[in-house]
Amino acid sequence: MKTLNRKLLLAGAITLALGSSNLLADDKMAMKDHSGPIVNARQEAQIWTTYALSPHLRATDISVAVLDGKATLTGSVADDVQKDLAGAIASGVGGVKDVDNQIKVDADYKKPEHTGSRGYGGAVDDATITAAVKSKLLWSKHTEGMETKVETKDGKVELSGTVGSQQAKQQAEKLAKNTNGVRAVDNKLQISDKPAKGKSANKEDKEKGTVIADSWITTKVKSTFMYSSNVAGSDISVNTDNGIVTLSGKVDSGAEQALAIELAQNIRGVKSVSSKQLIF
């Protein structure tokens, strides 16, 4: 339930973000007219887009119709959770005052057959995975400065380019595998003796005594948790003092605790990790 709640919150956040951006764009029009075909179409588009982005609803045949602030939902889903989520998303769109949720729950419901081409939600998922993997590689002390290319298709990540060692190659693959939404990793990284981009500058910074800001470290540790599977990042508190990271909160298992510690230790600038307050 903890994982589902996080996903429900994410869906709600996406809805609000979509609603805010569209409302700003149509602000002048909305002041003159709060109803009409244009407003109805905009609200329908917001609801449909959020359904397409949600991994729980994209493979359904839900139809949306909005008329003067009332959203009518029809179609079929496999369980009550999906029906409730669809209703919550629709009610969260700006201007929607009422939701008539006529969606039918069918335990034997079969998802529409895959057409062979990526849908809108799948394309967004792949782009999100690529960005998350790139960020994690950039923040890691083991893969910093690597000339790596990341591509994702249908949840499969392909890593290509060069790294300086076998350890860096393995670490890059591990970080990619432990990213939300990743189904498989094709590691085509090549080991090269050529210095990684940015290494010389980093060495000079260390010699000058430059210290990475604690706030930067805290932010990157939290973000790494958020992007990673098998770690409930929202349940873990992160504090950094002079490069020493303290993790506190509650995790579900020793494996999750160990992974959280490892991910924190891998962030650039981290000197050590204290996990005495991270319990399970």
Domain 2-105 has CATH 3.30.420: no
pLDDT-derived band at 114 (thresholds 50, 70, 90) equals: low
User: How is the chain split into domains, by residue range?
Assistant: 2-105, 120-199, 211-279
Q: Tokens 């670490």 — which residue?
A: 171
Amino acid at 99: V
pLDDT-derived band at 2 (thresholds 50, 70, 90) equals: very low
Domain 211-279 has CATH 3.30.1340: yes
Q: Judging by DSSP bridges, how do beta strands 156-163 and 184-191 pair with one another?
A: parallel
Q: How many CB atoms lie within 10 A of CB 268?
A: 16
Domain 120-199 has CATH 3.30.1340.30: yes
Residue 135's contacts (CB-CB under 8 Å, 6 or more residues apart) are: 223, 227
Query: Is the pLDDT higher at 19 or at 225?
Result: 225
Contact predicate 94/44, CB 8 Å: no
Mean pLDDT for 49-63 is 85
Contact predicate 221/272, CB 8 Å: no
Give the C-alpha separation, 40 to 66, whole Å: 5
Residue-wise pLDDT for 184-203, tens only, equals 999 999 988 765 555 444 54
Fold match between domain 120-199 and domain 211-279: yes
| Helix or strand (DSSP H, E) at 189 | strand 184-191
pLDDT-derived band at 116 (thresholds 50, 70, 90) equals: low
